[in-house]
Every structure is written in structure tokens, then in C-alpha cells.
Amino acid sequence: MTVPRLLVLEAFLDEPECERYGLELAHIAGLEPGTIYPILVAFEAAGWLASRAEEVDVHVEGRPRRRYYRLTADGVVAGRAAMATRRQRAQRSGARRLAW
């Protein structure tokens, strides 16, 4: 699991029931938009995310239609497991560092 993927999971897990759109996630995770979209596609293909297109009149809004993503039940479980693994690895690597 890469650091950018973990950052996206962390952004979702802060509020697992909340829908978020790509640019919003990029800002929360501190990633570039070009990095976030391949991650969202991969998570959706894995069944960790569900998405929907926003239903707005793009001419009235003056912006493109957004795609909203939310964690699925499987995504919550898998995301929490990935974060727990990350914490365990960080603790193990921290324990082996020299004191000086």
C-alpha cells in the first residue's frame, strides 16, 4: 500500500459515511489531482468505493459535474486494516532506530 493510497484512505476514514469528490479529496490528502483519480478508480474497482455523478445543470453551476465517492462497507474494513498495518510497521521500525 503506497503512501498516497494511505492518505486517501485516511481522508475517507475521518468521516466514513461522508461523500467526497476528487478535488476535495486531493486537498484533504495533500495530493495533486492527477494522483488522486487513479487511486479512486483502483479503489472503486476493488469494491472499496462507490461513486455517483452529481445531478446539476453545468451551465447554471458554471463548473463541470462532480463525481462523488464514498466508502463501501468492505472499504471501511479494508481501509481500517490497512491503517492498522501502517501503524504496526511504523511502531516496529521506530523500535529499531538508534537513540543517537
Query: What distance in Å separates the CA atoms of residue 8 and residue 5, rounded to the nearest whole number?
Result: 5
- Specify the pTM: 0.81
- Report CA-CA distances (Å) from 46 to 76, 79, 100: 12, 12, 43
Q: How many domains does the chain have?
A: 1
Dihedral sign, Cα of residue 26, residue 22, residue 38, residue 13: positive
Q: Would residue 39 count as lying in a domain?
A: yes
Query: What distance in Å separates the CA atoms of residue 22 and residue 28, rounded to the nearest whole number?
Result: 10
Residue 47: give its domain's CATH number: 1.10.10.10
Q: Would residue 99 count as lying in a domain?
A: no
- What residue numbers bound the domain in which 43 lies? 3-89
Q: Would residue 38 count as lying in a domain?
A: yes
The CA-based angle 71-22-28, given to 5 degrees, is 85
Q: Which residue has the higher pLDDT, 93 or 82?
A: 82
pLDDT digits (tens, 9 = 90+) for 26-77: 999 999 989 999 999 999 999 999 999 999 888 888 888 999 999 999 999 9
